[in-house]
Structure 1
Amino acid sequence: MAKIIVVTSGKGGVGKTTSSAAIGTGLALKGHKTVIIDFDIGLRNLDLIMGCERRVVYDFVNVINGEANLKQTLIKDKRTDNLFILPASQTRDKDALSKAGVEKVLNELAKDFDFILCDSPAGIESGAMMALYFADEAIVVTNPEVSSVRDSDRILGMLASKSRRAEQGLDAIKEHLLLTRYNPERVEKGEMLSVEDVKEILSIDLLGVIPESQAVLNASNSGQPVILDSESDAGQAYLDTVERLLGEKVPFRFLTVEKKGLLKRIFGG
């Protein structure tokens, strides 16, 4: 049976869709058949980050409304075997998703996939609530800033009270914390919260810490998940994150300021 994982955040701009693309790609690279669903009706970013925007013919809402089937709608990733995208609609209103319709699509996907990643809109609007409702696990993406962490705390409240698991009295959604845009130098200067600060405030297990990196922007602009840039710190950190999600014990990296050697200090770099 497929595991349904929602990737969510309390506010926009924290790297949620970037994280969905990277983690979905990482799971597929590890041999797990994975589909990423874009729940952000009206905005549609996932297909851009995955570089498949020109291949979108039908979308999630078309499937819910019976205007297309999953075989017609799913986009197979050209770079990574086992990876598929279910794009959002750019033209429909946020309330186009119905609980019954989403459940029907998820049940159909669950027959064929190991992991279903739900890329949620930010905040607590209807699309976000729909994305988290059916989740088995949740990856809460936050930046090390007070406003982002506070908004994430609200999302944790929703996961605990508004999900199918909560309504049916089942085991709670398993929550993971993913900290993005982490900059140890700014933490040392007191401009950002530390990993320990964020863990203390949110009290959920830390899944990954993604360093602030130009590689993330470069990957997004080129329509390629940053996890495929294995030379970059961010790409390596996302791979570590995927391995932890799969239950592997992987030490955390990129948490401290890199001390430059004498030659680097003299000659720069």
Structure 2
Amino acid sequence: MDQNGCVITITSGKGGVGKSTATANISIGLAQAGHKVIAVDFDIGLRNLDMILGLENRIVYDVIDVMEGKCNLSQAIISHKKTKNLYFLPASQSKDKNVLDTAKVKELLEKLKAEFDYIIIDSPAGIEGGFEHAVFWADKALIVVTPEVSSIRDSDRVIGIIDSKSEKAKLGEELEKYVIINRINPVLVEKGDMLSTEDVLDMLALPLIGLVPEDPKVVSATNTGEPTIYMHSPSGEAYERISKRVLGETIEFPIFKVKSGFLGSFKRMLSK
């Protein structure tokens, strides 16, 4: 793909770790910085991103309709109500993830790269069908994890899939990958009941791009279609920092004091 737009896939090892929340907030952050951004929901069948962005009632056509030629791309793209420069391409709720076709995905992304600065893909979890299509043409991948053994283990597997099946891997290049650690609870980390940032990074061996604390406002944000980046809540501020790092700014990470006794036993578990 020769166009200038950058495709960033946001993915995870398993569902329920906050991937769609990350997609919505980062897309808003990039658009607020003056870039033309489109968030694309590839999580076919689930379709959470439209609700988080507050756009569920605006949907007429979806990404599958575009790929199957039932409508033009412009007919399916929805302008965000609150953030200028932000657009949305919804997933189909009724189709199966297996309807995604590699050539059609490439054609769609080429069109989007010609029109947008950033294409942010909300990917299915790596353990689900359709994941490979969401990462195949990506320029970068942001992997959302929670500080739990099961999440790290599944994400480790996803990293292996990305490193072997992306288009860049087929060309002998490495896809840029970064980790977002979500739902950090400093009290639990301090007590040794949650993996520390150092533990997670040691296991995944990828650069960190974001630390997002546990934030009770995320639930209400999802219900109201007002992502936390608008509220400047703890998670919203974290996503503002992540957006700036995506744009190449050097932003310091918040520091949590930790006492972790998990690492040795976790390494043994992962190696089994």
- When normalised by structure 1's length, the TM-score is 0.93
User: In 1, Cα distance between the equivalents of 2:57 and 2:50?
Assistant: 9
Offset, 1:186: 0.2
1:78-111 CA-to-partner distances (Å, cap 9, x unmatched) read 1001101100001111111101111111011111
| SS of match in other structure, 2:115 | coil
User: In 2, Cα distance between the equivalents of 1:227 and 1:108?
Assistant: 28
Aligned to 2:249: 248
User: In 2 relative to 1, CA 227–254 (structure 1 residues): closer, same or farther, beyond 3 Å?
Assistant: farther
Residue number among 108, 111, 115 corresponding to 1:105 in the alignment: 108
Aligned to 1:33: 36
Residue number among 211, 214, 217 corresponding to 1:212 in the alignment: 214
1:127 matched to 2:130? The reply is yes
What are structure 2's unaligned runs of at least 5 residues?
259-272
Aligned to 2:69: 66
Aligned residue runs from structure 1 range 143-162, under 5 A: 143-162=146-165
Aligned to 2:9: 6
Give the residue type in structure 1 aligned to 2:104.
Answer: G
Q: Is the contact made by 1:42 and 1:90 (CA closer than 8 Å) also made in structure 2?
A: yes
Q: Is the contact made by 1:63 and 1:70 (CA closer than 8 Å) also made in structure 2?
A: yes
Percent of residue pairs identical:
49
User: In 2, Cα distance between the equivalents of 1:151 and 1:53?
Assistant: 30
Offset, 1:256: 4.5
User: In 2, Cα distance between the equivalents of 1:205 and 1:116?
Assistant: 21
Offset, 1:125: 2.9
Residue number among 206, 220, 223 corresponding to 1:221 in the alignment: 223
Offset, 1:24: 0.5
User: In 1, Cα distance between the equivalents of 2:13 and 2:112?
Assistant: 27
1:198 matched to 2:200? The reply is yes
What are structure 1's unaligned runs of at least 5 residues?
258-269
1:159-189 CA-to-partner distances (Å, cap 9, x unmatched) read 11000111122x3110010000001100111
Residue number among 16, 20, 23 corresponding to 1:17 in the alignment: 20
Q: CA RMSD in A?
A: 1.1
1:214-234 CA-to-partner distances (Å, cap 9, x unmatched) read 11112111111211111x111
Aligned to 1:235: 236
User: In 2, Cα distance between the equivalents of 1:93 and 1:235?
Assistant: 32
1:243-263 CA-to-partner distances (Å, cap 9, x unmatched) read 111111111126349xxxxxx
User: In 2, Cα distance between the equivalents of 1:40 and 1:226?
Assistant: 21
User: In 1, Cα distance between the equivalents of 2:34 and 2:161?
Assistant: 32
1:45-96 CA-to-partner distances (Å, cap 9, x unmatched) read 1101111000000000000000011110001001001101100001111111
Residue number among 174, 184, 187 corresponding to 1:172 in the alignment: 174
User: In 1, Cα distance between the equivalents of 2:136 and 2:5?
Assistant: 15
User: In 2, Cα distance between the equivalents of 1:81 and 1:251?
Assistant: 27
Give the residue type in structure 1 aligned to 2:238.
Answer: A
Q: Is the contact made by 1:31 and 1:82 (CA closer than 8 Å) also made in structure 2?
A: yes
User: In 2, Cα distance between the equivalents of 1:225 and 1:173?
Assistant: 28
